[in-house]
Structure 1
Amino acid sequence: MVKVIWIYKVNDPLNDFLERQINAADLQGSEFEKLSIDEHPELIEEYEIEKTHTLVFFDREGDRIANYDGPFNSKELEESIKVMNFFDYVANYNGEES
């Protein structure tokens, strides 16, 4: 399972649209969190944020996998989560069936 953090800027006109996209997306059991760069400016450097509305993906170990920079829609979010879940599964597969 991957964790996704949405890094956004307070009072950005796209926030309402993106919030609707998140609510419409099938997050497939992924953990989802949102953090404001206004309240947490250290995130810009920590996660190499280049644009507002960045999604930061983490694997089950808490290591950052990737960033998705810029606005997104529900389908892009769903596809990104599918890809990240696949890579997380492959990276942690040990050849045993549970």
Structure 2
Amino acid sequence: MILIFHAYSQFDALNVFINRQIHQADLEDSLLTSWSIELNPSLVSHYNITRTQNIIFKNEIGDELHRIEGPFSSSELEEALQIAKSKNKRK
């Protein structure tokens, strides 16, 4: 299983667009968790968040497999999931 973490800013004007992209994407059997960078500053430093929209893909043991920094479309999210899955198979 791939774990997907979505870090976002509460004040980002793109949130409506990004949330639509997440809901349109086929995330297969992955588990998605979203959290605000303003409400979770310790996670910002832990995950080295530098943009207001981030998607981090990890495997079940916590290894980072792939990352999207900045805005993304549903097709880019699906592509990134496939990249994460292929990296996970190599581990």
Counterpart in the other structure of 1:45:
45
Which consecutive unaligned segments of at least 5 residues does structure 2 have?
none
Moved more, 63-72 or 10-19: 63-72
User: 1:94 corresponds to which residue?
Assistant: none
Q: Report the TM-score when normalising by structure 2.
A: 0.93
CA distance in 2: counterparts of 1:53 and 1:78, whole angstroms = 16
Fraction of identical pairs, as percent: 34
Instruction: Give the letter aligned to residue 13 of structure 2.
Output: P
Q: What does 1:47-66 correspond to in 2, within 5 Å?
A: 47-66=47-66
Amino acid at match of 1:12: D
- CA displacement at 1:61 relative to structure 2: 1.4
| Residue segments in structure 1 that go unaligned for 5+ positions in a row | 92-98
What SS does the aligned partner of 1:5 have? strand
**Following TM superposition, by how much is the alpha carbon of 1:84 offset from its aligned partner in structure 2, in angstroms?**
0.3
Q: What TM-score do you get using the length of structure 1 for normalisation? A: 0.87
Aligned to 1:28: 28
| Moved segments of 4+, more than 6 Å | none
**CA displacement 1:14-54 (0-9 Å, x = unmatched):** 00000000000000111111010011011221111111101
